[in-house]
């Protein structure tokens, strides 16, 4: 760079050819298929296409209900954070990653382990980091990890970024999205380190029975692999099946459970999660997995201290009515989805959601006359109807859609009606 003498401005000079640089290629490979990236592309097309006649946008693409007044955080949770902040005790760097033992029982209960005392105490972490931490700890050279399809993209991203191979087992739509355990056995080999189970499920809305989870644990035992139980939707169930924590099978196969405030407390922006190990036989101690999880905190950031400081009061003061209200709205929304989607041509909904905030539906493109695939469907739907849904390919199933129903019920009805008129308008004429 050279300064021109007269006014101090920098004059551009050509960049020398020798100055070439390639960014981390693992990242370049991940760019195309993130939930955020694809939704941003759909929204950009919607805006460019004039945005569906100026009607309000119905966001059924990603799971963040906190924008809707009916899904506001509980005042008890807000008070807990405000109290922690006002106490003046949480302005320092965070000094530890675990909760005080006296408080870990609250977290343990939040995760569904009513009587179990957790040892070691859960480690608090920035929520998405729980996935990063676990994938980093397990990623020894040559390792592979078994992930559900459809699934949650972040696992693949984190596994691959750490040099692990991601292998996919199917969830079976005709069996309420149960794990294909035969498929799991066929996939695994001596380098398989773990299997990921998301229950209640994103993107399928599945809730697994005790018997099915027992079968998954037995399969993991047979294969000698760990179970990573993503339970960020713990207790968000509204069908007949109650949530069963995977940790109850810790004696069958060692379980690493990931939990979070994000979904159940409706505060994804607070960014607080936890890692709990359930392993009465001490496998994680013996294999240094537990120590590695703690050590990983040396090289990653901690959650904001006043949110950490709020956890004991937040758990203590959260009211059952708050959770019941969320579940009541989600149940109503799931019913609306089931009814309206089943009345929409070109769409099949194989299984009624029983938990979480999502449902997977299959597109029958042969009924539609001018739609190429799921991506095309979503872009056109956004452009013509201002309705945003996620193309199934992003969660591993091309020509499916993932629909988020955690929005206020009147908007949901509006959105699904627009989806229906879109499908009708693009239907092939009857032969
Ligand atoms: C939302 C979610 C998480 C946690 O994500 P954060 O945005 O970091 O709170 C983890 N797993 C699944 C399956 C999720 O849907």
Give per-residue pLDDT as tens, 207-241. Answer: 999 999 999 999 999 999 999 999 999 999 999 99
Q: For position 25, what pLDDT does the model report? A: 84
Tokens 């980093």 belong to residue: 136
Residues 194 and 337 occupy one common structural domain: no
Give per-residue pLDDT as tens, 251-286. Answer: 999 999 999 999 999 999 998 888 888 999 999 999
Residues 383 and 367 occupy one common structural domain: yes
Q: For position 116, what pLDDT does the model report? A: 55
Query: 241 C-alpha to center of ligand 1: Å?
Result: 22
Does the CB atom of residue 318 touch ligand 1 within 6 A? no
Does the CB atom of residue 232 touch ligand 1 within 6 A? yes
State the CATH number of the domain containing residue 244.
Answer: 3.40.640.10
Residues 133 and 266 occupy one common structural domain: yes
Full domain range(s) for residue 247? 76-317
Query: 232 C-alpha to center of ligand 1: Å?
Result: 6
10 domain residue, yes or no = no
Q: Please say whether the beta carbons of 284 and 254 come within 8 A.
A: yes
Residues 284 and 341 occupy one common structural domain: no
Residues 298 and 390 occupy one common structural domain: no
Give per-residue pLDDT as tens, 331-344. Answer: 999 999 999 999 99
Query: 63 C-alpha to center of ligand 1: Å?
Result: 9
Residues 36 and 160 occupy one common structural domain: no
Q: For position 63, what pLDDT does the model report? A: 85
Q: Is 162 exposed, middle or buried (0-12, 13-18, 19+ CB in 10 A)?
A: middle
Q: Could you say which of 317, 349, 370 is where a domain stops? A: 317
Provide the whole-model pTM: 0.92
State whether the Cα torsion 287-293-296-298 is positive or negative: negative
Which residue, judged by its Cα, is nearest atom 8 of ligand 1?
128
- What confidence tier does 300 reach under pLDDT thresholds 50, 70, 90? confident
State the CATH number of the domain containing residue 413.
Answer: 3.90.1150.10
Distance CA 361, CA 402 (A): 7
State whether the Cα torsion 421-327-314-274 is positive or negative: negative
Which residue, judged by its Cα, is nearest atom 5 of ligand 1?
128
- What confidence tier does 30 reach under pLDDT thresholds 50, 70, 90? confident
Does the CB atom of residue 404 touch ligand 1 within 6 A? no
* Mean pLDDT in residue range 366-378: 96
Distance CA 366, CA 353 (A): 25
Does the CB atom of residue 384 touch ligand 1 within 6 A? no
- What confidence tier does 96 reach under pLDDT thresholds 50, 70, 90? low
For the CA of 230, the closest atom of ligand 1 is 11
Q: Please say whether the beta carbons of 360 and 203 come within 8 A.
A: yes
Give per-residue pLDDT as tens, 302-332. Answer: 888 899 889 889 989 999 999 999 999 999 9
Does the CB atom of residue 268 touch ligand 1 within 6 A? yes
Residues 89 and 115 occupy one common structural domain: yes
Q: Is the pLDDT of residue 114 over 70?
A: no
Distance CA 196, CA 155 (A): 9
* Mean pLDDT in residue range 79-106: 78
Give per-residue pLDDT as tens, 386-404. Answer: 999 999 999 999 999 999 9
């Amino acid at each position: 760079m050279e300064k021109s003498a007269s006014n101090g401005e920098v004059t551009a000079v050509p960049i020398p050819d020798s100055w070439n640089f390639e960014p981390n290629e693992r990242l370049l490979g991940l760019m195309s298929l993130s939930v955020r990236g694809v939704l941003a592309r759909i929204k950009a097309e919607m805006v460019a296409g004039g945005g569906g006649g100026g009607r309000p946008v119905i966001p059924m693409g990603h799971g963040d209900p906190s924008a809707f007044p009916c899904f506001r955080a509980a005042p008890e949770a807000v008070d807990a954070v405000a109290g922690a902040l006002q106490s003046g005790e949480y302005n320092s760097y965070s000094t530890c990653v675990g909760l005080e033992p006296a408080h870990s029982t609250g977290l343990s209960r939040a995760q569904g382990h009513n009587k179990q005392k957790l040892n070691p105490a859960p480690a608090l972490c920035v929520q998405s980091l729980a996935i990063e931490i676990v994938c980093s700890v397990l990623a020894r050279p040559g390792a592979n990890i078994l992930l559900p399809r459809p699934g949650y993209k972040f696992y693949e991203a984190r596994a691959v970024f750490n040099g692990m191979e991601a292998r996919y087992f199917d969830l079976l739509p005709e069996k309420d999205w149960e794990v294909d355990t035969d498929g799991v056995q066929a996939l695994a080999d001596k380098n398989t380190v773990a299997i990921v189970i998301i229950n209640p499920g994103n993107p399928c809305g599945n809730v697994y029975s005790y018997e099915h989870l027992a079968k998954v644990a037995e399969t993991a035992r047979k294969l000698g692999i760990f179970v990573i139980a993503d339970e960020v939707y713990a207790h968000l169930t509204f069908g007949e099946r109650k949530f069963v924590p995977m940790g109850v099978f810790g004696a069958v196969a060692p379980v690493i459970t990931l939990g979070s405030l994000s979904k159940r407390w409706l505060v994804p922006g607070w960014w607080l999660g936890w890692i709990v190990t359930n392993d009465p036989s001490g496998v994680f101690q013996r294999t240094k997995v537990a120590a590695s999880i703690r050590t990983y905190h040396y090289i990653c950031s901690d959650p904001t201290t006043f949110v950490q400081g709020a956890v004991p009061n937040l758990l203590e003061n959260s009211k059952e009515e708050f959770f019941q209200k969320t579940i009541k709205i989600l149940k109503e929304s799931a019913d609306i989805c089931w009814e309206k989607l089943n009345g929409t041509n070109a769409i099949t909904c194989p299984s009624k959601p029983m938990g979480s905030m999502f449902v997977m539906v299959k597109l029958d493109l042969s009924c539609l006359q001018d739609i190429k695939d799921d991506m095309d469907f979503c872009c056109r739907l956004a452009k013509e109807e201002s309705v945003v849904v996620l193309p199934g390919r992003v969660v591993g199933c091309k020509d499916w859609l993932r629909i988020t129903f955690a929005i206020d019920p009147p908007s949901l009805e509006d959105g699904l009606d627009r989806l229906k008129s879109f499908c009708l308008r693009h239907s092939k004429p009857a032969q």
